[in-house]
Structure 1
């Protein structure tokens, strides 16, 4: 169905939660640029379990990759997809790098060929 906007629930996890607010704002911006809506919630690792209850995706800060087994186990109880946030999003360079991780494509008209990292492309993991 064309024109249908799906509202996703996305949890952004950083160690103590301080940088997750910054990352959550960048995720919101990228999702909005792609014409979608999402409820994006920043979360400290210690609060993850309660945030997972209605989440579709958990985006994890790269410095927490050592916690991925724990995070994946917790997310699997709720059927939540887990992915690591690209460093480019945390560095404020290319928010759109997050979109393939949550199943969203950036519309052609929103792609920016003048960015330092070039046009948006889904990069192989």
Structure 2
């Protein structure tokens, strides 16, 4: 990710509704969520307001949309989010990996495909 892309992504995420949308879509996983479900999850956001925010995030490259029948499904663009984190962490250690150990540990995904919800 280059600096202009990072700036666009950070600008998109700097608004609370858009940040919550991205968080919801990350939680939803690769299947994503229908626009209506996103609106409901945000407490009933109006469709015009939601559309504005979704468009902004899509232009920043953080989410993508696809049509499934009459629904538009939105999902997080995980490589873009990883690129944003990578942009921030690039050259953070300067030869001292212990400096970044806490940040790297925080990125450890809690999603273990070998575990079930009942475990």
Answer whether TM exceeds 0.5 for this pair.
no
Structure in which a larger fraction of residues adopt strand = 1
Q: Which has the larger radius of gyration?
A: 2
How does the TM-score come out when normalised to structure 2?
0.29
